[in-house]
Copies of this chain bind each other. A is one copy, B any other.
Amino acid sequence: MYHHVKKLMYTVTIGEPDPKFGKMLLEQFGGANGELAAAMQYSIQGFNCEDAARKDLLMDIGTEELSHLEVVGALIRMHLKPMKSNREAAEADPLVAIAGGGGVALFDSMGNAWTADYLKVTGDLAVDLRSNIAAEARAKIVYERLISFTQDQGSKQALQFLMTREITHMRAFTAALDSMEKPQFSVGIIQPTPHLVDQFFNGSTGESQYGESDFVGPWNHGNGLVPVESEIKGGEGLDVKPYDPQPGTEKTSSIDSTPVGEYTNGVGKKQAALHEKINAEAAKNAVVEV
């Protein structure tokens, strides 16, 4: 259940309204990496989460992002205000000015309607947490750019507040992923094909007119990875020998989501039972330490 408190999480004040900056700010209201996207991504992951502890985390942050939507919305409204009565201001975004009456709406800085296509929700907790870490990094960089495009102190401070929270959330999601105690590259329940998984394929070669060329770095040499040249360049190509997948071979965590699929060799049932047990244990105390 949700409750709304009329007080904004952060008190927004601005100097002179700057409608073109207001339009830029819409990125963080109805844009791909904006506050609604964050709120929905985490909350819906939370609705689906089988682990009660990390569900709490997802709902905590998902709800805070809704509060941020309200804060950034208030900031934007202050900047958009001249669109209501000034033709030149209105020209910058007629969708906001004419159709929306000069207020905020779920569009980005170029008038694209918000879409759930922005969200990354797989229902696999360890995967979703990675999507969230990346989402927070994106939101951080977008806020920073907005800060670096305005000189209005009130706006800068409000954006600094919102930007800071993204780093907090990035740290929290990272801690939650770490607390699952999974090996760094273990995803799901089926191990990748040995040998093939170590081959880095050199799909782009040669030198450009602008001096770019072919590099050897830690991503194709070292870290267990070896470079493989394409047959078109006289190389051996990837090791494409057929290999049968084996559900249940990958290293998993007790916190992992129940794997999806009809032929999971019973891993699904075991994991579902494990969740029930962990959550039942946890539910015995009002506030639980993991």
Q: Is A274 an interface residue (CB 8 A)?
A: no
B123, A32: Cβ atoms closer than 8 Å: no
A60, B200: Cβ atoms closer than 8 Å: yes
A208, B8: Cβ atoms closer than 8 Å: yes
B106, A122: Cβ atoms closer than 8 Å: no
Q: Please measure, in the bound complex, the distance between the C-alpha atom of A286 and the C-alpha atom of B214, giving whole angstroms.
A: 7
Question: What 0/1 pattern do residues 134 to 160 of A give for CB contact below 8 A with B?
Answer: 100110111011111111011011011
Query: Which chain B residue has the least Cβ–Cβ distance from A283?
Result: B211
Q: Is A38 an interface residue (CB 8 A)?
A: no
Answer whether A24 and B172 are a contact pair too, CB < 8 Å, given A6-B214, A124-B101, A290-B215. Answer: no
Q: Please measure, in the bound complex, the distance between the C-alpha atom of A242 and the C-alpha atom of B152, giving whole angstroms.
A: 13
Chain B neighbourhood of A170, CB < 8 A: 185, 187
A172, B220: Cβ atoms closer than 8 Å: yes
Answer whether A190 and B176 are a contact pair too, CB < 8 Å, given A63-B4, A223-B171, A260-B85. Answer: no
Q: Please measure, in the bound complex, the distance between the C-alpha atom of A241 and the C-alpha atom of B167, giving whole angstroms.
A: 17
Query: What is the total number of residues of chain A having a CB less than 8 Å from a CB of chain B?
Result: 191
Give the contacts of A74-126 with B (CB-CB under 8 A).
74, 77, 84-87, 90-95, 97-124, 126
B290, A203: Cβ atoms closer than 8 Å: no
14 interchain pairs, CB-CB under 8 A: A3-B232, A5-B232, A6-B206, A9-B240, A47-B73, A124-B141, A144-B245, A145-B260, A157-B244, A160-B244, A171-B223, A172-B225, A213-B288, A216-B287
B52, A212: Cβ atoms closer than 8 Å: yes
Chain B neighbourhood of A264, CB < 8 A: 85, 148
* Cβ 8 A contact of A187, one of B57, B167, B289: B167
Chain B neighbourhood of A147, CB < 8 A: 190, 245, 247, 261, 263
Q: Please measure, in the bound complex, the distance between the C-alpha atom of A98 and the C-alpha atom of B102, giving whole angstroms.
A: 21
Chain B neighbourhood of A14, CB < 8 A: none
A105, B101: Cβ atoms closer than 8 Å: no
Question: In the complex, what's the smallest C-beta–C-beta distance from A197 to chain B, in angstroms?
Answer: 5
Closest 4 CB pairs of A and B: A148-B261, A101-B123, A110-B111, A48-B103
